[in-house]
Structure 1
Amino acid sequence: MTRFADLTSPAVAEVRADDRIPVLLLPVGAIEPHGPHAPLSTDPIISAGMCDRAAARLADDPEVRVLILPPLPYGVTRYGAAFPGAVGVSEDTLHAIVVDVCLSLAQQGFPRVVIVNNHFEPEHVSTLLRAVATLDSPSVRYLNLLRRHTAARLTDEFRSGSCHAGRYETSLVLADHPDLVDTAAMRDLPPLIVDMPAAMRDGRTDFPTMGMDQAYCGSPAEATAAEGLSTFDTLTELLIDVIRDLAKQD
């Protein structure tokens, strides 16, 4: 069993007393529009998929015990607010819940936590990094997929910055939840190249002013489940590297 909340209280005590070092994963995302074809839950789906795969691969590991915390699906999301379905929380709310959850876990004897996030709105990411800084513990890590050396292992579209609900994200959803993708709508979408990081630097703070009038950019029509599975393999390897490094912490 890999889901923390599915354990009984005595089972949690057994995990705490086990020789294997427990590392807990906190999947994070946001509920926001992902084009006319992909679900609002795209970001949480990707985070959950990474966590599930990492826990499965390490299920029989003799040194580490991986448990997945209940996901945190709500994040700071304002760029898609012009479209139906964007449900956001404030920076202070996100910061408080991440800090409080990690402190509560540490008090229970579970200090090692990896925050697994796939929503990259700048204010959201900076809030998660601020939460880690507030905790000021080497046992709490944020897997930062935007770092250059990490992004270099991901797809061309991801590295281009034109990847909201495009080929990269849609492929990942197709890999795990194909029933949630409107493939007919997906195939009709033309490529839309938007350098989102550059647009953000220019002060554009919503999808319409970036030219994303359907809340997507990239090439969703090119998405495939096969690419999603391949990308999940890479994302899972990145996460496992963090888990193993964290397990070595005194």
Structure 2
Amino acid sequence: MTFFADLTSRQVAELATPPPGARTPVLLLPLGAIEPHGPHAPLGTDPLISRGMCVRAAARLADDPEVRVLILPALPYGVTRFAAGFAGGLHIGEETLHALLVDVGTALIGQGLPRILLVNNHFEPAHLTTLRRAVETLNTGLGGRVAHLDLVRRRHAQRLTDEFRGGECHAGRYETSLVLADRPELVDTPVMRTLPHVPVTLAAAAPDTDFRQLGMSEAYCGAPAEATAEEGEATFGVLTDMLVEAIRELGVR
């Protein structure tokens, strides 16, 4: 089984007390935010991408002799002040997000499952800062072996597309291609093809700004009209490579 919530209580207890030579369990927690992604892409774009990465990595490692990958139920709510003023944005504060992550992590660590990997695709700076702080809390004070696949770090970002590296990827070509590869029925393709390029980079956006102030009048930037499912599959391949590497690294800690 791939999904943690599909296990029975007895199966989880067996995971936490494996016999010698058994595979090391690594739990993946898909993260994101429910927020507007232009007039063409779904509100749940970010957690959809995170889940897609997790499913692909779990499939790739299904028969791995060293690690056993399980996907936790997604936490799809995040810090999303940038989306203020648009319908569909569901913002939670930093302390709420931190508390949720720490509580979930504490429950798992307390049951003998300390290896948890946060898989996130929402890149608002305040959200990322909160994830990093939660990892530190769980590892420093609670004995966790928790990690965060931080895609905006240079060593990861340089492996992704030009649009991602330029910071124009909110509901642009990068993210829209990923949704087309995973859930194409959720993209309004006729609308997508009409959208002009919006040259706004979120990489240096001030924390107190929002999409409208940045010039993203339709809650997207970049070039979604150029998105393709083929590019999305290729990008998922790179993302899955990075996730598998992070899983293996965590599995030997």
TM-score range, shorter chain: over 0.9
Deviation at 1:152, TM superposition (A): 0.3
Matched, 1:231 2:231: no
Alignment check: 8 A CA contact 2:172 2:222 kept: yes
Aligned to 1:216: 220
Aligned to 1:11: 11
Deviation at 1:60, TM superposition (A): 0.5
Matched, 1:150 2:189: no
Alignment check: 8 A CA contact 1:102 1:113 kept: yes
Amino acid at match of 1:191: H
CA-to-aligned-CA distance 1:172-231 (integer Å, 9 cap, x gap)? 000110000000110000111112223x14x66100010000000000000001100100
Matched, 1:168 2:174: yes
Amino acid at match of 1:156: D
Cα distance in 1 for partners of 2:215, 2:6 equals 44
Cα distance in 1 for partners of 2:135, 2:11 equals 28
CA-to-aligned-CA distance 1:111-130 (integer Å, 9 cap, x gap)? 00000000001111101111
Alignment of 1:18-167 (within 5 A): 18=18, 19-135=22-138, 136=140, 137=143, 139-167=145-173
Alignment check: 8 A CA contact 1:204 1:210 kept: no
Amino acid at match of 2:168: S
Aligned length: 247
Amino acid at match of 1:11: Q
Matched, 1:188 2:194: yes
Amino acid at match of 2:203: P
Alignment check: 8 A CA contact 2:173 2:224 kept: yes
Deviation at 1:149, TM superposition (A): 1.3
Which aligned runs of 4 or more in structure 1 are off by greater than 6 angstroms? none
Deviation at 1:15, TM superposition (A): 2.5
Counterpart of 1:93 in 2: which secondary structure? helix
Percent of aligned positions that are identical: 64
Output the TM-score relative to the length of structure 1.
0.96
Cα distance in 2 for partners of 1:14, 1:195 equals 47
CA RMSD of aligned residues (A): 1.1
CA-to-aligned-CA distance 1:12-56 (integer Å, 9 cap, x gap)? 123234411000000000000000000000000000000001111
Deviation at 1:9, TM superposition (A): 1.1
Counterpart of 1:66 in 2: which secondary structure? strand
Counterpart of 1:23 in 2: which secondary structure? strand
Aligned to 1:2: 2
Cα distance in 2 for partners of 1:204, 1:139 equals 33
Alignment check: 8 A CA contact 1:29 1:117 kept: yes
Counterpart of 1:205 in 2: which secondary structure? coil
Cα distance in 1 for partners of 2:16, 2:62 equals 16
Counterpart of 2:12 in 1: which secondary structure? helix
